[in-house]
Amino acid sequence: MIHSNLFADLPARLSDELFTTLFEDALVCIERIVSHGHASPPGFWYDQDQNEWVVVLRGAARIQFEGKEALVEMKAGDFITIAAHRRHRVAWTTPDEPTVWLAVHFGG
């Protein structure tokens, strides 16, 4: 049994988003992501082989999907399921506090 806390060891500032794998096996990968005013680089799109279920635990974010102008606004407690190969990017995260995400990659 591994015991830890999702809010432990949050860095005050980050030059890049911080991805920490919490659990991984052949079927699923669970990771904590910490953003602090980060966004995907211009022109960059995530295009993942697996489905992703992601929840914002702290902070806020805006996600953009390819071909859609409207951004998906996410605040603490909001979650979304992103199908495999659904191209998306992080358009914005809160600059004044860490945004803590929990992402579960599965299937696909």
Tens digit of each residue's pLDDT, the chain (108 residues): 677 899 998 888 888 999 999 999 999 999 999 999 999 999 999 999 999 999 999 999 999 999 999 999 999 999 999 999 999 999 999 999 999 999 999 997
Residue tagged 């992080």 (tokens)? 90
C-alpha torsion angle, residues 86, 60, 16, 44 (rounded to 10) = 30
Decide if 3 is inside a domain: no
Alpha carbons 83 and 54: distance in angstroms, whole number: 11
Alpha carbons 27 and 36: distance in angstroms, whole number: 29
Decide if 13 is inside a domain: no
Question: What is the domain count for the chain?
Answer: 1
Decide if 11 is inside a domain: no
**Can you give the residue range of the structural domain that contains 29?**
18-106
Alpha carbons 68 and 53: distance in angstroms, whole number: 19
Alpha carbons 15 and 105: distance in angstroms, whole number: 24
pTM exceeding 0.85: yes
